Chain A
Amino acid sequence: DTEVTQTPKHLVMGMTNKKSLKCEQHMGHRAMYWYKQKAKKPPELMFVYSYEKLSINESVPSRFSPECPNSSLLNLHLHALQPEDSALYLCASSQDGMPPAGGYTFGSGTRLTVV
């Protein structure tokens, strides 16, 4: 298995809702990432987990809460989002080491719309 699987593919939520994005990989990668991508822009790093521990939080608002239950799973819990948070949310994974052997593998993303 050489894929990063993200669910759901599309999500529409109200500003008072609580929802979660899920990401799964079975490549044995020990680093996992959340990126946010607005239309016609490059992906922007949100969080990095290394060996299931949060190692980078790029000053992301607390309405985004990441969780890494085990080495294969990464969640992003959403609460009280704003319309400007609408974007494509990408999950990625990589081997440890710099540079990581095999590079970074991205999922297809969750298209989030906040209404």
Chain B
Amino acid sequence: GENVEQHPSTLSVQEGDSAVIKCTYSDSASNYFPWYKQELGKGPQLIIDIRSNVGEKKDQRIAVTLNKTAKHFSLHITETQPEDSAVYFCAASYQTGANNLFFGTGTRLTVIP
């Protein structure tokens, strides 16, 4: 099966700075890469995703880049705000008869006011 590694496990940044979280995946068949934000006591919330035929996608302060050759993808958050503090999970997916998501180990982001 797919193996997704995520770094760093914790990240602290000053408000207004940028944050970058990186993930690598193992299976070249993976073709869908979402990022989830999980706040305490809540389920994961999709914040951005990218498909394997796209190299970069941006949505306001959030961007994701994908390097298929190197099998890695990254989340970039600019102008961070305290409400960005949460655990972020990357994931990779490919069809195995039914859809399946393989999650990274998570990054706890703390934005210091």
Interface size on B, residues (CB 8 A): 26
The answer on a CB contact under 8 Å between A98 and B93 is yes
A interface majority secondary structure: strand
Interface centre among B94, B100, B105 (most CB of A within 10 A): B100
Query: CA of A34 to CA of B37 in the docked complex: distance in angstroms?
Result: 18
Query: CA of A111 to CA of B43 in the docked complex: distance in angstroms?
Result: 11
Q: Give chain B nearest CB distance to A25 CB in angstroms.
A: 12
Total A-B residue contacts, Cβ distance less than 8 Å: 73
B32: A residues at CB distance < 8 A: 98-100
**B contact residues vs A (CB 8 Å cutoff):** 31-32, 34, 36, 41-46, 49, 51, 89, 93-101, 103-106
Q: Give chain B nearest CB distance to A5 CB in angstroms.
A: 11
* Stretch of A13-21, A48-56, A70-78 at the chain-chain interface: A48-56
Query: CA of A105 to CA of B41 in the docked complex: distance in angstroms?
Result: 16
15 pairs of residues in contact across A and B, judged by CB atoms under 8 Å: A31-B99, A33-B101, A48-B100, A55-B97, A56-B98, A92-B101, A99-B99, A100-B32, A100-B99, A103-B34, A103-B46, A106-B46, A107-B43, A108-B42, A109-B42
A99: B residues at CB distance < 8 A: 31-32, 49, 51, 93, 99
- Write the A77-113 contact mask toward B (1 if CB under 8 angstroms, else 0): 0000000000000101010101110011111110100
The answer on a CB contact under 8 Å between A31 and B45 is no
B interface majority secondary structure: loop
A103: B residues at CB distance < 8 A: 34, 46, 49
Query: CA of A111 to CA of B42 in the docked complex: distance in angstroms?
Result: 10
**A contact residues vs B (CB 8 Å cutoff):** 4, 6, 31, 33, 40-45, 48-50, 55-56, 90, 92, 94, 96, 98-100, 103-109, 111
Q: A40-B106, A42-B103, A42-B104 are in contact. Are A48 and B98 (CB under 8 A)?
A: yes
The answer on a CB contact under 8 Å between B94 and A98 is yes
The answer on a CB contact under 8 Å between B43 and A109 is yes
Q: A45-B100, A56-B100, A103-B34 are in contact. Are A98 and B106 (CB under 8 A)?
A: no
